[in-house]
């Protein structure tokens, strides 16, 4: 029996101007695919939360906290994200453990 652990997935756009000047039509379509991918993971019970910083400079990033059985499975999930697969965003993953969370406090 394998044990599931949590992972933090951090993504950043390859082209930061996408956040300030707007995405190209191709980037916009890929970001929509990315959002649909995360929604599907949420419905499947894999994704625990996702969001992004609201700044629009080079330091802007998004995170997702999700469950995976191994580092290999976590990387597979990240690499299957359309935004990563189609090179609109770069991804990093980190082992993670959520210590406190109250859905009632989420806005």
Per-residue pLDDT tens digits for 56-83: 988 999 999 999 999 999 999 999 999 9
Residue numbers of the domain that contains 35: 5-98
Answer yes or no: is 90 within a domain. yes
Residue 2 pLDDT class (50, 70, 90 cuts): low
Answer yes or no: is 107 within a domain. no
- Write the CA distances from 6 to 18, 30, 68, 103, integer angstroms: 29, 26, 6, 17
Helix (H) or strand (E) holding 13: strand 5-13
The span from the first CA to the last CA of the chain, in angstroms, equals 36
pLDDT at site 3: 78
CATH of the domain at 58: 3.30.70.1060
**Per-residue pLDDT at 106 exceeds 70:** yes
Answer yes or no: is 37 within a domain. yes
Answer yes or no: is 105 within a domain. no
CB-based burial, 95-105: b 16+ in 10 Å, e otherwise:
ebeeeeeeeee
Answer yes or no: is 104 within a domain. no
Tokens of 6: 């949590």
């Amino acid at each position: 029996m394998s044990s599931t652990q949590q992972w933090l997935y951090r993504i950043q756009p390859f082209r930061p101007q996408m956040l300030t000047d707007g995405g190209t039509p191709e980037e916009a379509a890929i970001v929509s695919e990315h959002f649909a991918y995360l929604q599907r993971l949420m419905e499947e019970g894999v994704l625990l939360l996702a969001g992004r910083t609201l700044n629009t400079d080079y330091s802007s990033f998004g995170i997702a906290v999700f469950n995976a059985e191994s580092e290999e499975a976590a990387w597979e999930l990240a690499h299957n994200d359309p935004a990563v697969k189609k090179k609109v965003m770069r991804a990093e993953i980190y082992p993670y453990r959520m210590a406190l969370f109250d859905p009632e406090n989420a806005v």
